[in-house]
Structure 1
């Protein structure tokens, strides 16, 4: 089998597996968000959720493996032609920009612990506001990639309060929260620790426990949801 056919087969498998993951993600969220689950079914639902979670993680591992094979095929082929090599380099760059590549490098890790249960403590809405504000500060400090509890933050990411938890990329999340950001670690830390800034106010007014650590190597995972443009098209010049 020639290399071109291998690439097509690998891409086809990735599409099939990605579709399966989206289906599992939908069923998982539907199970979690179902209201008024009878007590006698709570254990059954918990087991079903765990099974779906394990299946999703296995499919994600398969996608990563297949994508790695496709990347090897593309790299080998591009090495034979300067034009293809330049094209491959551009594709990799746009994958990074869109969030479809896991990235690593210098950066910071921000850990938000659940505060002591006291008057003025933070609730779900305050966590929602906190995440939005911290992400905005990191973006203003030119963070190159951001994740929240291993969910990649992109222009398509939704962060919304839902009942007693927060939905990030369609996945239910709750405290503690861990935000990772790639960029100049000193600039990122200084922007967060600014007196009168978001972290200072959260610690002083809401008694929230926030830890900021500079690291030489932070890993930000890739965005795993499938994006489709159904209502938009490229403007032709």
Structure 2
């Protein structure tokens, strides 16, 4: 082989190598792009799956939250109902205490002053009938009963609350009121109720007012806009009386 032929073959080999490397240089980015595309698709698919899982978890959490909210609403409704029942019970207890006289009360009504007849010549000349001219426990009972019949809602004698079981009895020159109280005249009787109706009851022909006036005893009555009557301080104990069940 001549020197020129060797040169030609060398140049040809170099060209072939350059062409090969040129082709590889052009194909390299394409292959890399394909690999990158495959990796991107896998990543996208993974992200999509993760998104679906998160959406499912969100739905589960939303359902749990909804259940908790419904349960909380039930609790709130139950609490509201219990509060209503509690308030109703409290009102009933207060009403029972009011009826039992265990609460101080105030309101319009009348005030009555009862007193013995003042000493005069008639009493001096007739000492044996002096008992007819003093206030007795029976007189007090008549007055209290008339007040009750006229609709008095609360009654007090000299500041002592009078109930159905209150004792009013004679104690010599004094009158026993309740278990421990003893009062001498004058006696101040206060009653809460309709003032006009309470006043009118003592204007009736059979009222004790006329009898006491006839014997010369002092009987003064007046309307009062605001009367305060204290709570009953005695004992309310039922030993023999028992409640009857509705189904009995």
Which residue matches 1:177? 187
2:85 corresponds, among 83, 86, 89, to: 83
Which residue matches 2:171? 162
Taking structure 1 as the reference length, the TM-score comes to 0.62
Aligned length: 159
Q: 1:124 Cα shift?
A: 9.1
Structure 1 segment 10-25 matched on structure 2, within 5 A: none
Taking structure 2 as the reference length, the TM-score comes to 0.59
Tell me, yes or no, if structure 1 residue 108 matches structure 2 residue 118: no
Structure 1 distance, partners of 2:244, 2:156, is 31
Flag structure 2 segments of 5+ consecutive residues without an equivalent: 1-79
Cα deviation code 1:79-135 (max 9, x no counterpart): x81111111111111111111111110100001123112255556984211111111
1:143 corresponds, among 143, 152, 156, to: 152
Q: 1:160 Cα shift?
A: 1.0
Which residue matches 1:233? 242
2:116, 2:135 within 8 Å by CA — same for their partners in 1? no
Report the RMSD for the aligned CA atoms in angstroms: 2.3
Q: 1:228 Cα shift?
A: 2.0
Structure 1 distance, partners of 2:98, 2:133, is 31
Q: 1:196 Cα shift?
A: 4.8
Tell me, yes or no, if structure 1 residue 201 matches structure 2 residue 211: yes
Which residue matches 1:93? 95
